Structure 1
Amino acid sequence: MKPTVVIGGGVVGLFTAYFLQQQGEEVIVVDKGDMEENCSTGNAGMIVPSHIVPLASPGMISKGVSWMFSSKSPFYIQPRLDRRLIDWCLQFYRHSNAKHVQQSIPYLKGISLYSKQLYLDFVAEHGNEAIKLQDRGLLMLYKTKEGEKDEAALANLARESGLNAEILSKEDIGKLEPNQEVDVRGGVYFPDDAHLSPRDLYRLLKTHLQEQGVMLKSNVTITGVEKNGRKIKAVITEGGKIDCDHLMVCAGSWSGEVAKMLGFRLPMMGGKGYSFELPNTPELKQASILTEARVSQSPYGGKVRFGGTMEISNHVDMVNIRRVQGIFESIKAYYPEFKAEFPAQDSIWKGMRPCSPDGLPYIGKAPGWENVAFGAGHSMMGVSLAPATGKLLADLKIGKLGELKMDAFAVDRYARK
């Protein structure tokens, strides 16, 4: 039997390999990068069943237009003549409505809760010392009346959907952050959310897979595929051919390019984000999102990671320092006593998050192919949804169908339009 090849060595690809290997299958993971630093290592590490509203939602259009005019704003689209970008933006606009949000909620809720449980199972098997999972919930902090209105509406929506959500006063928040003044109007607490160390999770997954005989191949450039009817026989790379029985595409923001090789359309844009770590002084205890600034804050004992921005851009390797300044300035706005020094440029992480135009991931079989599946387009929720995506793809490989609703994640939802 030939191996299953997983294209993409990020956390989604590694969890896919993890569950395939558990089924006793031979697996090869290939990645175009060095498998050291990627979107799986520098993000906030949040596990967020509370995030039931997709990126494409009514408020994003009005806010996005105003943000376009600020160099420090949380959202930016680099203007350029690019047919793929224009198409993506049109699709994003068409999906930014209340009907799409309501239709998406049960799907996002289902896969998020499933993923959270798989994380708890993972910790039960491998221990928590390495990945530092903190099952302490998430705070959504707001400073303005508008922010209060938006977050209260989200809390009510979450409750109506069967999730736990608590609206907190500034005094309530002070009890969760006893070491800090938190300069906010209030917040919403989602007790069922969690966070972990994404870099440590990534290292643990790589080590475990290698110990189990999974081959990890870095710096591999894929140039094509070898076909036999409706099946892929091999992946063609600059270094030679890799035979395969099945192909799992978990290539993040580059998954659209692989889809193009396979002859179908998969709208995807890279949304660049930035993060940096600072000494956690005075110590923050609670993972939070600073809602008006769209900045995440994840504490890990002596360190805390701040991250944010969504920059739809072609400049993969460039750090836009003005956007990093926007993240940095939000720290003092919410935590005036926090001792923050602007990070050195070489310590600023950057990564391209894979964004579908409707804000939902692509998970399932590839159109026109019997032995190809995709798991991509998770936007800012790659770490949160990685275990569920990997398990669903592994189950799909052996024809196992679960109870989770999946049709909203169909890989061919744009290919058939």
Structure 2
Amino acid sequence: MGKNKNVIIVGGGIVGLSSAYYLQKEGHNVTVLDKSEMNWGASYVNAGYITPSHIIPLASPGMISKGIKYMFNPVSPFYMKPRLDLDFMKWAWYFKKSSTTAKVKLAMPLIKNINLLSRELFEDIKNSGDLGDFHLERKGLLMVYQTQKEGDHEMMVARIASDMGLEVTNLDSDGLNKVEPNVKFNALGAVHYECDGHTTPTQFMERMIDYLPKCGVKINKNEEVLDVSVNGNKITEIKTNKASYSADEVVFAAGSWTSMLSKKMNIKLPLQAGKGYRINVESPTNISMPAILMEAKMAVTPMQGYTRFAGTMEFSGINHTIRKKRVDAIAQGAERYYEGLKISEEDKSNAQCGLRPVTPDGLPYIGTSEQFENLTLATGHAMMGWSLGPATGKLVTELISDKKLSMNIDSFAPERRF
């Protein structure tokens, strides 16, 4: 087998573009199809974190009871909109089944390993000079807490992370002020995960979109896949609103929309869209350290040109409705932690949202389809899509190129049983 396959990638987010990046380096002919203008969505509005520290999957003990408690509060950080939708109800049942201590224990090293692989690949991309000098910093991530309860919980996670070889420091309020000297925190302390990094996502995406066509990758924007033709266990044709394509290999990397594509082919892929919001503040905030504000369940990232405040996990189906109450809750949450911070009405009115694809067990779907030998699925990264983009692209490329995999991905099998 080997070189020069024609590969169609459906989806132009971080996972799709990372796949294109590594596939073209292996000599494949790559076409990326995306139904949008490729300037919005989850790959553009995320917190930009590279997070080996995020070892605990979303599906963990207690999350369902929290979800039920939050369900009737539309400004809560974790919101499941009650709805009679069979796919959602099945997904919620699988999520409940996955939320066990034993399953979390199995997931943690896998999440850590793929994050460390991806962190290394971000560095490699930067060092290659392919995308020019893009923003990539390794200052770590502060988990900032205002209550001892949250502090104790995070210290327990920190001990596990430390035992797994990740660099972690506990900071009291004085230690916090030393690490972030130009702002005054209203907090008891923080856990500093020195292993983490951060980027400016829009900048990285724009550089990728600029670089890939120079290497022969075709990027077709505003092109939606309408139908997929199959013959036996192979995909033979991809039909869009503009053209039809035949390919040796197909990659579904369409984020939250991947389950809809899979449905056309009778592949059951339990996946729900988890909506997140972001506010960019362009005026100076003096914030220099990425931080997660624990009780508010939100993220703060100093990016090039602005400080980003991001948060919420809203399960309300595939829609881009911006709920003002939820945006206000993010702004108010941030203002409670940083003394003197004021997020303007204008900044709030420019808020955007994106849909993260969430699997029931918190592990991504990365692998070859059981039913179609020339289909690779790459989605379901939940809140770690940005962090895991390069690693996923590399693994997709190794699968398609019949190369030794950088890590064991059996647990990421797309058609696994829950």
| Band the TM-score falls in, shorter-chain normalisation | over 0.9
Return the alpha-carbon distance in structure 1 between the equivalents of residues 297 and 200 of structure 2: 20
Distance 1:41 1:173 in 2: 29
CA–CA distance in structure 2, aligned partners of residues 268 and 237 of structure 1 = 23
Which runs of no fewer than 5 residues in structure 2 stay unpaired? Answer: none
Aligned to 1:41, the other structure's residue is in SS state helix
Counterpart position of 1:89: 92
Q: Deviations over 1:56-79 (max 9, x none)?
A: 001322332332232321011111
CA distances 1:264-316 after superposition (whole Å, capped 9, x unpaired): 10001101110011135340010000011111000125520000001101361
Shift of 1:127: 7.1
Match for residue 50 of structure 2?
Answer: 47
Equivalent pair of 2:395/2:406 in contact (CA under 8 Å):
no
Q: Report if the CA contact (8 A) 1:30-1:217 is conserved.
A: yes
Distance 2:305 2:29 in 1: 40
The SS at the match of 1:40 is helix
**Structure 2 counterpart of 1:324:** 327
CA positional deviation for 1:38: 1.6
Q: Corresponding residue for 1:192?
A: 195
Do 2:139 and 2:196's aligned partners in 1 also have CA atoms closer than 8 Å? yes
1:287 and 2:295 are equivalent in the alignment: no
Aligned: 1:348 with 2:351: yes
Q: Percent identity?
A: 37
1:129-170 Cα deviation digits (max 9, x unpaired): 653111110000011111011101110111122211111101
59-68 vs 304-313, greater mean Cα deviation = 59-68
Query: Would you say 1:19 and 2:29 are equivalent positions?
Result: no
Which of 59, 62, 72 is the equivalent residue of 2:62? Answer: 59
Please say if 1:243 is aligned against 2:216.
Answer: no
What's the CA shift for 1:337? 1.8
Shift of 1:406: 1.0
Using a 3 Å threshold, how does the CA distance of structure 1 residues 228 and 41 change in structure 2: closer, same or farther? same
Give deviations 1:168-209, integer Å, cap 9, x for gaps.
101101011111111111110011100000000000111110
Q: Is the 8 A contact 1:110 1:405 kept in 2?
A: no
Aligned residues: 415
Closer, same or farther: CA 258–128 of 1 in aligned 2, 3 Å: closer
1:402, CA displacement in angstroms? 2.4
Tell me if structure 2 keeps the 8 A contact 1:130–1:204.
no
8 Å contact 1:281–1:339 — kept in the other structure?
Answer: no
2:39 aligned residue (21, 36, 57): 36
Cα–Cα, structure 1 residues 344 and 300, in superposed 2: closer, same or farther, change >3 Å?
closer
More deviation in 119-128 or 392-401? Answer: 119-128
Alignment of 1:404-415 (within 5 A): 404-414=407-417
Task: Give the deviation of 1:104 after TM superposition.
Answer: 0.2
TM-score by length of 1: 0.96
Opposite residue 325 of structure 1, the aligned amino acid is D
After TM superposition, what 4+ stretches of structure 1 lie above 6 angstroms from structure 2? Answer: none
SS at match of 1:58: coil
In 2, Cα distance between equivalents of 1:286 and 1:387: 23
2:306 aligned to which of 288, 303, 314: 303
2:280 to 264, 277, 280: 277
Distance 1:410 1:2, change over 3 A: closer
Residues 15 and 385 in structure 2, CA contact (< 8 A), matched pair in contact too: yes
What SS does structure 2 have at the residue aligned with 1:396? helix
The answer for the alignment partner of 2:142 in structure 1 is 139
Q: Deviations over 1:208-257 (max 9, x none)?
A: 10111111111222122122321112111222311111001101001111
The reply on whether 1:335 has 2:338 as its aligned counterpart is yes
Cα RMSD between the aligned structures? 1.6
User: Retained in 2: the 8 A contact 1:280–1:301?
Assistant: no
| Contact 1:328–1:342 under 8 Å retained in 2 | no
| 1:128–1:245 Cα change, 3 Å | closer
Q: Does 1:105 align with 2:108?
A: yes
Partner of 1:68: 71
Once residues 307 and 121 of structure 2 are traced to their aligned partners in structure 1, the CA distance between those partners, rounded to angstroms, is: 25
More off after superposition, 67-76 vs 326-335: 67-76
Tell me by how many angstroms 1:346 deviates.
4.9
- By how many angstroms is 1:405 displaced? 2.2
Contact 1:180 1:284 in 2 (8 A): yes
Q: Return closer, same or farther for 1:216/1:187 CA change in 2, 3 Å cut-off.
A: same
